[in-house]
Amino acid sequence: MTNETGKLKEFWRSERAFWVLGALALITIALTFLPAFEGLWSAWQREEYSHSMLIPLIALLMGWHRLTQNKPIPTPAWTGLTLIFTGFIFLVISRLSTFAPPAHYGFVACLAGLVLSFGGWRSFWVLLPALAYLIFAVPLPRLIEVALTAKMQLFSSTLGVMILQTLGIPVFQEGNIIDLGQTKLQVIDACSGLRYLFPLMSLGFLIAFLFKGPFWKRALIFLSTIPLTLGINSLRIAITGILVNIFGPHAAEGLMHDVEGFFVFGFCMILLFVEVWLLSRDKQTPCGINFDDLQIPSGKILGEKPAVKAPTIAAVALSLSIACLSLITDPGSRQDQIPARESFLSFPLSLGQWKGQTVTVEQDLLNTLDATDYWNASYTRSDAPGNVDVFMTYYDQQRTGHSAHSPANCIPGSGWKVVNRKIIPVELKDRTLAVTRMHIQKGPQALLVYYWFDQRGRLINEQYRAKWFLLVDAIVKKRTDGAIIRLMTPIAQQEEKNAADQRLVDFLLDFYPITKRYIPD
């Protein structure tokens, strides 16, 4: 018995126990996060993230090299428990809200926590570049991606038009629509440059890691990938315009369009390597890419023999405990409650003195919105000089890529310039309705837009608050349903200053009470 006890003590003091516990904690965390990896794999099938499946392997190689080069001495830190716990909290939030990004970031946080719990702060700083590189494998939250796509579309379109005008080609721009006379080019989401930006930023980070030189040069290599992508993508749009001007509309379609896409990324890579070559030409401070870091490293990875410490055991115990709790409770098994409601098909075309008619919505737009239900109609009143257009979309469940779209993101892409935007109160009979008011303009045309999110009894006028309460209600109410309502009316030059506002307010008095029959509280 004494001999067995001695062997057990010897095992816990051994290096083997350190690695066994490390493997146990890592496998436990990986299995707990396993359901979230399915969504990650699906995201990696998209062109924007198709390179991401290589990032974990490259990050592993980066970390391996850093360890063999620096050989940190293991000094386990209690701080790692905080990161592990935070990572699991992110997983719970992800399962309750059915939004994938928190789980992905939570897994990276858990990995960082394990590094601290087993290796300490020195090991953490050594492995920080590898941990940071893993972030490039995580898709952006849809809200940020949509907003970024819209801004990049508009920027690329504007710069592309400037290039065409400089070359003397007649062109007119309406937002993301480029009018060349014989045809119109629309810079869609796929042409925003986002599918080139993510891979190029990942490549830029890797090259900056391999580059041996001053920090400012490495930072410049990485950050320069952003203007490179935007500039070359704008050049691609300009080249498409030139080809269309010479060969006709078919030059913007099919194989030629795809070849231009390869040209964008390939030319960006060439310019990036030219930049690296220029930065390497420093006789006083020799620098350049160390290709040895692309080989399989050899040698010890730690400065001294590791041993099991209290933070190490605590990290394993915490991982096992939370994993068991997650398995027992299984928060992701909860199903959303979908309240009963009337279909917009029965929404009245007669509202007080307002008479309306439905307006057909293009199928491409419906596919983009992916809404459960929608209503698009135009209302007029005999004593009102302008019409009021109503567009409502309703979602019985909102998920990543399947949620209400803010007009603040969509309208600029249709060629409209936002003159001003602000939140205003609208006094109704029994309540004050806060709406987002936008004055938009396209050439001589001007429109006034009111919109708001109607989400599970909350009237919200800002998209980020809408996303926050979507998460809260998914956890507390098990509901993610909701709608967005947009009203538009023309601003005529001969009208008085506030006539368009008054027209929308008058319409709201008859319109808003009816909406409560179709959008559940």
Beta strands in 353-404 (DSSP E): 354-358, 373-380, 388-395
How high is the pLDDT of residue 46?
78
How high is the pLDDT of residue 140?
81
Residue with tokens 């090991």: 123
Q: Which two tokens stand for residue 474?
A: 């998914």
The more confidently predicted of residues 218 and 144 is 218
Q: What is the pLDDT of residues 149-181, one digit of tens each?
A: 777 777 777 787 788 778 777 777 666 667 666
Domain limits for position 367: 344-515
Q: Is the residue at 339 inside a domain?
A: no
CA distance 415 to 125: 47
One domain for residues 127 and 155: no
One domain for residues 502 and 461: yes
pLDDT at 38 over 70: yes
How high is the pLDDT of residue 255?
46
How high is the pLDDT of residue 476?
82
One domain for residues 43 and 189: no
Handedness of CA 141, 143, 146, 147 (dihedral sign): negative
pLDDT at 28 over 90: yes
Q: Which two tokens stand for residue 257?
A: 């369009």
- How confident is residue 1, by pLDDT bands cut at 50, 70 and 90? very low
Handedness of CA 300, 302, 304, 309 (dihedral sign): negative
CA distance 272 to 294: 18
CA distance 507 to 512: 8
Q: Which two tokens stand for residue 439?
A: 């004055």
One domain for residues 367 and 230: no
How far from 5 is each of 11, 12, 47, 314, CA to CA, in Å? 10, 11, 57, 22
CA distance 46 to 399: 17
Number of domains in the chain: 3
One domain for residues 490 and 461: yes
How high is the pLDDT of residue 98?
64
CA nearest to 78, candidates 118, 51, 45: 118
One domain for residues 138 and 151: no
CA distance 297 to 295: 6
Q: What's the distance, CA 74 to chain centroid?
A: 37
pLDDT at 519 over 70: yes
Q: Is the residue at 510 inside a domain?
A: yes
Q: Is the residue at 252 inside a domain?
A: yes
Partner residues linked to 423 by β-bridges: 436
Helices (H), 190-224: 194-210, 215-223
* Percent of the chain predicted with pLDDT > 90: 34
How far from 371 is each of 318, 409, 484, CA to CA, in Å? 42, 17, 11
Backbone angles phi, psi at 378, to 5 degrees: -120, 130
Give per-residue burial for 465-482: e unless 16+ CB within 10 Å, then b.
Answer: ebbebbbebbeeeebbbb
One domain for residues 459 and 406: yes
Residue type, 344: F
Q: Is the residue at 236 inside a domain?
A: yes
CA distance 11 to 439: 73
One domain for residues 253 and 228: yes
- Contact status, residue 349 vs residue 355, Cβ threshold 8 Å: yes
- How confident is residue 9, by pLDDT bands cut at 50, 70 and 90? low
How high is the pLDDT of residue 330?
63
Q: Count of H helices and E strands in the chain?
A: 16, 14
**Domain's final residue, options 310, 333, 356:** 333
Q: Is the residue at 261 inside a domain?
A: yes
One domain for residues 42 and 156: no
Contacts of 25 (CB under 8 A, 6+ apart): 114, 117, 118, 315, 316, 319
Q: What's the pTM value of the predicted model, to 2 decimals?
A: 0.72
One domain for residues 110 and 202: no
Q: Specify the range with the lowest mean pLDDT, choosing from 37-41, 150-154, 323-327, 488-492.
A: 150-154
One domain for residues 76 and 158: no
Q: Is the residue at 2 inside a domain?
A: no
One domain for residues 89 and 118: yes
